[in-house]
Amino acid sequence: MKSMLLSLFSCLVLSVTGQAQQEKGRLDIQLNKNILQPGDSLVIKVEYKDGRSQLPDQSLATLELIVENEQGQRTRLRWPLINGQASGALYLSDSLPRGQYTLLAGLQRRFFEVRGKIQEPQGNGTIQAMLLTKTGDWDDQEVPVDHDGTFAIRNWLFEDNALLAFAGTRNNSQPLNISISTQLDSSYRPLAVAGRAFYIGNPPAAARSILSQPVATSGTDFEDKGSVLPAVLVRTTVKSPAQQFNDEYVSGLFRSGDERMISIMDDPTAFSQPNIFSYLQGRVAGLQISPAGFSGGIARWRGSPVTFFIDEVRVSAQQVGNIPMTDIAIVKAYPPPFFGAPGGGGAIAIYTRRGGEANYLPANRSVFKIRGYTPSATVLDMNRLSL
């Protein structure tokens, strides 16, 4: 899984010594089209040039994007800019308001970086850092710590949100009191800015000529005060891992409120069972598990057949019986009548681990939720921050 995360030790950050030339640089925005309909995808390609040529090979930066509609709604995205280029696609759903949209692009010299400080360093020469992405990929590294407790991490590239955890090394079991800030979320002055417009729907004749023209853009559009994230000690977390998993991944009708939730990841004895059917025997009142075979009719609830789901997709009992116990995060049992079950029977929903639920995190860690880069293909949502 580590191969899914790009190790960037060998890459160079944009050179400060080249500021004189870089101030003359520009961003060129290319759109696949500027008049689109719901269901289309807006493909965006942005290239940075310093006035004479592209940036040197292996240069890294961040492209910040702001999309604003006529109603004043805004959303922000960011993509990595590598070798002077960045690109991505925005899917335009039917729920988006029709009308003109403005796309603003600003080049941030920084790449992803975390700066932190241990409030009481106590001679920590190094600490262990672990990154768990939303897709379940993970990586870890030992991070040097200065005498004043400060440290920096500059070599991770990932999309969407991730969990960043810290722990002491050399058998140091003391909890770490850490504060961090992600440099991409901090205030900066854009190196170059540009703007383009596009239209969702059928634009009036007067708007068509505007769509082909550059949009005046100011660097102040990208200014942000940034933030420092307080440490969250896991021992102070109110919700259990199963409750957190339920909040994050369970949706729609699977949040009925009448179900019984069983956490596999909190029960070490679960892994000694051959499958989930053996584990569930006698654990849910009214649910009858047959000990013979796993090819159907394995479970009944109050005399009615039970419908099975894996990650909210309906499956057969045989598929459920073949899931390794180590791959299961939680199980939710729904007594009849369950709306998603044919005939109003009961249901059992199996949710598999996403990566962050596995026991990868060391003990006595400080844990933070951090934002990486926007996925290169994502749905344009004007109702939330899409970073």
Q: What is the CATH number of the domain that holds 73?
A: 2.60.40.1930
Is residue 89 in a domain?
Answer: yes
Work out how many domains the chain is built from and give that number: 2
Quote the DSSP letter at residue 171: T
The reply to whether 141 and 44 lie within a common domain is yes
Which residues of the chain fall below pLDDT 70?
A: 1-24, 51-58, 121-124, 170-175, 223-239, 291-297, 355-365, 384-387
> Residue 4: its pLDDT value, please?
39
Q: Which of 119, 117, 179 is nearest to 143 (CA)?
A: 117
> Residue 57: its pLDDT value, please?
43
231 contacts: CB under 8 Å, gap ≥ 6: 176, 177, 178, 179, 180, 366, 368
Count of C-beta atoms within a 10 Å radius of residue 135: 15
> Residue 209: its pLDDT value, please?
82
Q: How far is CA 12 from the centre of its chain?
A: 25
The reply to whether 370 and 318 lie within a common domain is no
> Residue 247: its pLDDT value, please?
81
58 contacts: CB under 8 Å, gap ≥ 6: 10, 11, 12, 83
Is residue 347 in a domain?
Answer: yes
The reply to whether 213 and 312 lie within a common domain is no
Give the model confidence (pLDDT) of 68-89 as tens digits: 999 888 899 999 999 899 999 9
The reply to whether 167 and 40 lie within a common domain is yes
Q: CA 141, CA 128: separation in Å to the nearest integer?
A: 6
List the beta bridge partners of residue 180: 116, 229
pTM of the model: 0.61
The reply to whether 27 and 158 lie within a common domain is yes
220 contacts: CB under 8 Å, gap ≥ 6: none
Give the model confidence (pLDDT) of 40-69 as tens digits: 999 999 999 876 544 444 478 999 999 999
Q: CA 265, CA 135: separation in Å to the nearest integer?
A: 18
The pair of structure tokens assigned to 85 is: 């280029």
Is residue 250 in a domain?
Answer: no
Is residue 211 in a domain?
Answer: yes
Is residue 274 in a domain?
Answer: yes
Q: What is the CATH number of the domain that holds 284?
A: 2.170.130.10
> Residue 144: its pLDDT value, please?
93
> Residue 56: its pLDDT value, please?
46
Tell me the H-state helices in the chain: 19-22, 205-211, 241-249, 276-280, 317-321
The reply to whether 367 and 347 lie within a common domain is no
The reply to whether 297 and 181 lie within a common domain is no
The reply to whether 43 and 96 lie within a common domain is yes
Q: CA 375, CA 341: separation in Å to the nearest integer?
A: 34
The reply to whether 179 and 296 lie within a common domain is no
280 in helix, strand or coil?
A: helix
The pair of structure tokens assigned to 260 is: 């019984």
Is residue 130 in a domain?
Answer: yes
The reply to whether 102 and 182 lie within a common domain is yes
The reply to whether 44 and 181 lie within a common domain is yes
> Residue 22: its pLDDT value, please?
41
- Structural domain boundaries, residue 294: 266-352
Is residue 90 in a domain?
Answer: yes
The reply to whether 85 and 17 lie within a common domain is yes
Long-range CB contacts for residues 142-149, cutoff 8 Å, separation at least 24: 142/169, 145/118, 145/121, 147/121, 148/117, 148/121, 149/117, 149/118, 149/119, 149/120, 149/121, 149/124
Q: Which of 107, 373, 110 is nearest to 219 (CA)?
A: 107
Is residue 139 in a domain?
Answer: yes
